[in-house]
Amino acid sequence: MPVIQRFAQCRLRINANDHPPPHFHVLLNDGREAWVSISDLRIVHGQVAVREIADALDWAKANQAMLATTFEELQR
């Protein structure tokens, strides 16, 4: 489960051999987690407000292609 990026309030990771659709996990420091779709950066699972992970979503938007490539590589 490689951590792709760290932020003050959370970290972003992509799991190997994970299920579709392509997504990443945002793990907050308080233990909560959100799954975010790479294609549209929408929270698809988790009890997390967008404002709580805004930094991670901004970073993900700027790095969307890399996230998609990384997800595909980790599924092999």
Q: Which residues pair with 11 in a beta bridge?
A: 6, 27
Tens-place pLDDT, residues 8-60:
999 999 999 999 999 999 999 999 999 999 999 999 999 999 999 999 999 99
pLDDT range class, residue 1, cuts 50, 70, 90: low
Q: How do the domains of the chain map onto residue ranges?
A: 3-74
pTM value is 0.93
Strand order in the sheet with 23-28: 3-6, 10-13, 23-28, 33-37, 43-45
CA atoms within 13 A on the CB side of 70: 19
